[in-house]
């Protein structure tokens, strides 16, 4: 898959029904990158799963301390299964890298506090359209 660059975009890495980590998603130099900015609304168990999946034993502590941590940095050619589910109103996407699945929201989740970001559906849908164009995703 070839993709055009997308500037840093505010996005939340979603886990489970209510877990989310704020951060920045972008495509630059042919790579898809996501940097989390702290733990957000992730539970201790979700942080532990992230650490285990990434092979980074100290990850839960880093995010728990509010650090910025790159959680995804892969060539765009390794990204597949990109979809924009109808139930996210075009303001969220799913993708896969290898055997790992990722969900991102471009709209600020309800259970987040004091985090800047797009809170309205129209602006978040516009962001989703930018990403759909960049990744050539299906609906």
Which residue range(s) make up the domain with 95? 6-135
Residue 12 domain-assigned?
yes
Whichever domain contains 111, its CATH number is: 2.30.29.30
Residue 1 is predicted with a pLDDT of 42
pLDDT at 2: 47
> Considering its fold, how many domains does the chain have in total?
1
How many CA atoms lie within 13 Å of 3's alpha carbon, on the beta-carbon side?
28
Query: From CA 93, how far away is CA 74, in angstroms rounded?
Result: 17
Q: Check residue 116 and give its pLDDT.
A: 58
Domain annotation covers residue 1: no
> What sign does the dihedral 96-101-107-113 (CA atoms) show?
negative
- pLDDT mean by block of 10 residues, the chain; 139 residues: 77 91 94 93 89 86 90 93 88 92 89 61 84 75
Do residues 12 and 112 touch, judged by C-beta distance below 8 A?
Answer: yes
Distance CA(35)–CA(48), nearest Å, equals: 17
Whether 108 is covered by a domain: the verdict is yes
pLDDT recorded at residue 82: 93
pTM of the model: 0.86
Q: Which residues of 116-134 are buried (b: 16+ CB within 10 A; e: fewer)?
A: ebbeeeeebbebbeebbeb
Instruction: Output the CA torsion sign for 25, 20, 89, 103.
Output: positive
Q: Is residue 131 part of a domain?
A: yes
Task: Please check whether residue 130 is in contact with residue 6, taking contact to mean a CB–CB distance below 8 angstroms.
Answer: yes
């Amino acid at each position: 898959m070839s993709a055009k660059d997308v500037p840093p975009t505010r996005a939340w890495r979603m886990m489970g029904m209510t877990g989310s980590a704020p951060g920045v998603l972008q495509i630059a130099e042919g790579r898809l990158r996501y940097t989390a900015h702290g733990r957000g609304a992730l539970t201790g168990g979700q942080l532990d799963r992230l650490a285990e999946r990434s092979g980074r034993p100290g990850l839960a502590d880093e995010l728990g301390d509010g650090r910025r941590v790159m959680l995804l940095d892969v060539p765009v050619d390794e990204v597949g299964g990109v979809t924009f589910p109808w139930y996210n109103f075009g303001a969220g996407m799913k993708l896969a890298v290898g055997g790992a699945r990722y969900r991102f929201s471009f709209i600020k989740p309800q259970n987040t506090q004091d985090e800047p970001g797009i809170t309205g559906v129209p602006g978040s849908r516009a962001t989703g359209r930018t990403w759909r164009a960049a990744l050539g995703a299906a609906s």
